[in-house]
Amino acid sequence: MAPPDLGDVGRVAAAVHPAHPEDAAVFRERLGLYPAGCFVLDGAAGIEGYLLSHPWVLGRPPSLNTMLGQLPDAADTFYLHDLALLPHARAGGAGSEAVGRVIDQAKRDGFQALSLLAVGWSLTFWQRHGFRAVDLGIDLSSYGTATFMTRPVSQKPNM
């Protein structure tokens, strides 16, 4: 992902997550804070999906549509902030490829765990990729109905 992609990232986000809108500034900040964790899926019609991820603190997911300011010095998880694919881009393994890329990045960065918040239809997708639900006992209401999930980086993918 590069700065010129952000308009298309916002377009995909609006189409895929209409109930979970985020400001363009959030995407811009995530890319600026950790470009190695930001990817786009290029397709015949342009950008058809994206993935935003970054180091974070396990068990303390950031609220939706919130600026981070900076990444934590004591990061102990590689956090998947968002994976969004347009409906026609979901076939053919694009989601699994994105998960593989983020796992590889987490390994390169020396993280032992990945974490995320699963919303909407995504719970079973993440379970297929080895993520397991963890009850944090915290307010996740900014995401609507959400499930916090983790998986070890070293786990073999179930793709």
CATH code, domain with 96? 3.40.630.30
Mean pLDDT in the chain?
90
Number of structural domains the chain divides into: 1
Q: What is the largest CA-CA distance in the chain?
A: 43
Question: Using one digit for the tens of pLDDT, what is the confidence trace for 29-55?
Answer: 999 999 999 999 988 888 999 999 999
Report if residue 128 sits inside a domain.
no
Report if residue 122 sits inside a domain.
no
DSSP-derived letter for residue 97 is H
Distances (CA, A) of 68 to 35, 49, 154: 14, 22, 27
Report if residue 26 sits inside a domain.
yes
Q: What is the spatial distance between Cα 21 and Cα 29, in angstroms, rounded to a whole number?
A: 15
Report if residue 74 sits inside a domain.
yes
- Asked if residue 35 lies in contact with residue 105, where contact means CB atoms within 8 angstroms, the answer is no
Dihedral class, residue 9 (left if φ above 0, else alpha if ψ from -120 to 50, else beta): alpha
Q: Which two tokens stand for residue 119?
A: 């919303």
**Domain containing 52: what range?**
3-102
pTM (two decimals) = 0.90
Region of poorest pLDDT, from 18-22, 88-92, 139-143: 139-143
Report if residue 88 sits inside a domain.
yes
- Asked if residue 5 lies in contact with residue 47, where contact means CB atoms within 8 angstroms, the answer is yes
Question: Using one digit for the tens of pLDDT, what is the confidence trace for 48-93?
Answer: 999 999 999 998 998 889 999 999 999 999 999 999 999 888 888 8
Report if residue 37 sits inside a domain.
yes
- How do strand 113-119 and strand 146-152 relate by DSSP bridges? antiparallel
Q: For residue 113, which of 70, 53, 27, 158 has the smallest C-alpha distance?
A: 53
